[in-house]
Amino acid sequence: MSFLNKTINKFAIKYAHSKMQKALTNNLNIDITNQNIAKIPNPNKSYMLYTHIPFCHIFCPYCSFHKFQYNKESCKNYFKNLREELKQTKEAGYDFNSLYVGGGTTLIDEDELIKTLELAKKLFSIQDISCETDPNHIQPENLAKFRGLIDRISVGVQSFDDEILKKVARFEKFGSQKDLINKLEKAINILPVLSLDLIFNFPFQTKDNLLTDIKIAKDLNPQQITLYPLMKSNLTKDAIAKSLGISNIDNEYEFYKIIREEFKDYNSNNAWAFSKEKSNLADEYVGSNSDYVGVGSGAFSFLDGRLLINAFNLDDYEEKIKSNKSPVIATCDFKDSEKIKYIFLTKLFDGEINIKDFNLQNKVDLKKTMFLELNLLRLANAIYEENGFIRPTEFGRYICVVLMKDFYTGMDKVRAIFKNDAKIKSRKKLYVMSEEI
């Protein structure tokens, strides 16, 4: 690569990062509300259903998602409320073809999850279900219970390196490299698709560490392998620094190029997910559907350019569901121009944009609306147009990774507003209960 191309690439990466940060800072204006804000479907749109399970046995330092320490009774009660919200969503007039279950640890109570998935399939026209889990919930006998329910199971392995696993508090909980390989060997092929999920660009992770992780993952031969960049936000950066240290060298782009080369014979389901066979199952629900409905504590919905945020505190969530009120506690409205940029990013991240379909679905002229952005992306050799489609180049795929990573970490700004309040209220309740006992 020439010096000029390297300079342009560096500028493009820095520019993409700064633009996303600025967009999130300027547009994530959260309006906390006491109004009963209903989620109303648009009959001309299709939606994906997202369901959140906010319980974990152990908290990983790099994870900023909404979660609580697992308690059997609290979890069982939560699932009961969750199923009630599903019924209310049906009554509101929604239907869904796809369901994505995230967390937290979604398989933390298999029996309750089975009841919930069965209800969802009964209520809606769901054709496929994707679910996340950790390596402690992939025993063959447990996964077998989900045949006919879960189509894609995403297993958060994160790394096979024992030293990294120790630093992120996963070694004792989930096992060594040898233990993880043994668990995965038994789990693969029980459900239609198993995605083995890894994180790259840990501080002080070497090229050899990365190549070893990739080799082990490929040798296991799961249906999909996903490699996410380490995501740092204000909620996680201190915990990451404490457990993993701080490195002055950022290998993210160099490591991503290695990843693309190692998976050149695989299908790219999106910018960071690879499979032996082309899959239509959702790897990132925000990419697969620009409009989606979130149910559960702390779940986000994105409807017609409006972000709707469910109650984080479990007691607040329960009170709203039992009284048949909307669980929405806050909203954020985006300008039309920002909504179009967001949808453009998610589609480009998934691999391509059909210009004609994009214009029809969003009632815009993409080339006029994003004239400046499209020309900058072309100048940086990040996109190209072919037969009515806009597609990312190899460098453009990395730009998508940068933007999607910044989008996810930027959403921590939203979580931060409600996270402490939810945790404080929960701790108060536990304290009162212990005093009564």
Please tell me the least confidently modeled range out of 124-138, 194-208, 228-242, 420-434.
420-434
- Residue 279 has a pLDDT of 67
Q: Are residues 51 and 17 in the same domain?
A: no
| Residue at 88 is within a domain | yes
Q: Are residues 215 and 76 in the same domain?
A: yes
Domain end marker among 263, 287, 311: 287
Q: Are residues 394 and 364 in the same domain?
A: yes
Q: Are residues 10 and 60 in the same domain?
A: no
| Residue at 271 is within a domain | yes
| Residue at 313 is within a domain | no
pLDDT score of 370 more than 90: yes
Domain end marker among 224, 255, 287: 287
Full-model pTM: 0.87
From residue 203, give the alpha-carbon distance in Å to each of 62, 171, 173, 207: 12, 17, 21, 12
Q: Are residues 136 and 218 in the same domain?
A: yes
Separation between Cα atoms, residue 6 and residue 310, nearest integer Å: 44
Q: Are residues 150 and 268 in the same domain?
A: yes
Q: Which of 175, 215, 178, 168 is nearest to 196 (CA)?
A: 215
Segments forming the whole domain that contains residue 85: 47-287
Q: Count the residues in the chain.
A: 437
Each residue of 193-235: pLDDT tens digit?
Answer: 999 999 999 988 999 999 999 999 999 999 999 999 998 766 6
pLDDT score of 236 more than 70: no
Q: Are residues 397 and 428 in the same domain?
A: yes
Q: Which of 326, 304, 308 is nearest to 317 (CA)?
A: 326
Q: Are residues 132 and 252 in the same domain?
A: yes
Q: Which residue has the higher pLDDT, 379 or 409?
A: 379
Separation between Cα atoms, residue 60 and residue 40, nearest integer Å: 36
- Residue 17 has a pLDDT of 60
Which residue type sits at 79?
A: F
- Joined together, the tokens standing for residue 71 give 């308690």
Q: Are residues 258 and 394 in the same domain?
A: no
Q: Which residue has the higher pLDDT, 363 or 413?
A: 363
- Residue 60 has a pLDDT of 74
From residue 77, give the alpha-carbon distance in Å to each of 55, 225, 384, 437: 12, 34, 51, 20
The CATH code of the domain that includes 196 is 3.20.20.70
Element (DSSP H or E) covering residue 209: helix 207-220
| Residue at 292 is within a domain | no
Each residue of 31-57: pLDDT tens digit?
Answer: 888 888 989 999 888 899 999 999 988
The CATH code of the domain that includes 414 is 1.10.10
Q: Are residues 136 and 238 in the same domain?
A: yes
| Residue at 103 is within a domain | yes
| Residue at 404 is within a domain | yes
Each residue of 302-360: pLDDT tens digit?
Answer: 998 899 999 999 999 999 999 999 999 999 898 888 889 889 998 999 999 999 999 99
Is the Cβ–Cβ distance between 10 and 253 less than 8 Å? Answer: no
Exposure b/e, 155-170, CB count within 10 A at least 16 = b: bbbbbbbbebbebbeb
Q: Are residues 125 and 246 in the same domain?
A: yes
| Residue at 118 is within a domain | yes
Q: Are residues 271 and 360 in the same domain?
A: no
Domain end marker among 287, 304, 328: 287
| Residue at 304 is within a domain | no
Return contacts of 25-29, CB within 8 angstroms, 24+ apart.
27/332, 27/334, 27/335, 27/338, 28/332, 28/410, 28/411, 28/413, 28/414, 29/332, 29/333
Average pLDDT score over residue span 246-269: 92
Tally the domains of the chain: 2
Is the Cβ–Cβ distance between 250 and 204 less than 8 Å? Answer: no
